[in-house]
Amino acid sequence: MNGINLLIEEHQYIRRMLIVARKASYKVLQGNEVNYEDFMKIIDFIRNYADNHHHGKEEKILFNRMVSEIGGAAESLIKFGMLVEHDLGRLYMEELEKALDRVKAGDEESKVDIIANAVSYTHLLSRHIDKEDNTVYTFATRKLSKETLVTIDMECENFERAMSEKNIQEKYLKLLEKLEKKYVD
């Protein structure tokens, strides 16, 4: 298993969910009722697949190695770029969930916060994924030692196996497909 290629592949699933989040937001903009259940499924996917599963591998396996082995430019790129954007994405999801709760409690004006946070997340992650695919991962592949890359591959494979035993990948990819059928197809 090539760990970096796996991360790139996962980005494709995340991008697909970004489309779903945008389409669900557009329905709210059009005046449709907020589908709380679907928005919570989107948040669940983002928190548990995009963040815990995907960003978990980046933060625990790849980024730490880049900082310790490459240093300098890698440290700035990771600490002041990628990790900051991961945290900003978490903030958008937290604020989206709060906005959903406010609307559910009768605060119609908070619909704008649902749209704003969901769409802001889609913009952030779209740019973030482009940076990782075209800069961060290329930099890592070029600058990390072959031994480190083999270690990353093995650790990603072990991580994937452990998550597969918990049915994480299958659960969230099925959820993605279900939401795509409703919002995209």
Query: Mind listing the pLDDT tens digit for each residue in 119-144?
Result: 999 999 999 999 999 999 999 999 99
pTM of this prediction?
Answer: 0.96
Across the range 113-117, mean pLDDT stands at 98
Within 13 A of 117's CA, how many CA atoms are on the CB side? 21
Extract long-range pairs of 68-73: CB within 8 Å, 24+ residues apart. Answer: 69/143, 69/144, 69/145, 69/148, 70/139, 70/140, 70/143, 70/144, 73/139
Domain holding 68: CATH number? 1.20.120.520
DSSP state of 184: T
| Residue 151 pLDDT | 97
Q: In the structure, what pLDDT confidence band is assigned to residue 176 with cuts at 50, 70 and 90?
A: very high
Distance, in Å, from the CA atom of 142 to the CA atom of 129, rounded to the nearest integer, reads 18
Q: In the structure, what pLDDT confidence band is assigned to residue 26 with cuts at 50, 70 and 90?
A: very high
Distance, in Å, from the CA atom of 64 to the CA atom of 53, rounded to the nearest integer, reads 16
Using the predicted structure, report yes or no on whether residue 29 has a pLDDT greater than 90. Answer: yes
Cβ within 8 Å of residue 129, ≥6 positions away: 11, 14, 15
Distance, in Å, from the CA atom of 100 to the CA atom of 88, rounded to the nearest integer, reads 18
State which residues form the domain around 9.
3-183
Which ranges constitute the DSSP H helices of the chain? 3-29, 36-45, 56-57, 64-70, 72-77, 83-104, 111-131, 137-143, 146-165, 168-183
Name which of 59, 69, 43, 58 is nearest 4 in CA terms.
58
Across the range 33-51, mean pLDDT stands at 98
Check: CB of residue 63 under 8 Å from CB of residue 82: yes
* Main-chain phi, psi angles of 166, to 5 degrees: -95, 0
Share the mean pLDDT of the chain: 97
Distance, in Å, from the CA atom of 84 to the CA atom of 127, rounded to the nearest integer, reads 13
| Residue 185 pLDDT | 82
**Single-letter amino acid, residue 55:** H
| Residue 35 pLDDT | 98
Across the range 64-92, mean pLDDT stands at 96
**pLDDT tens-digit profile of 48-58?**
999 999 999 99
Using the predicted structure, report yes or no on whether residue 96 has a pLDDT greater than 90. Answer: yes
Provide the domain count of the chain: 1
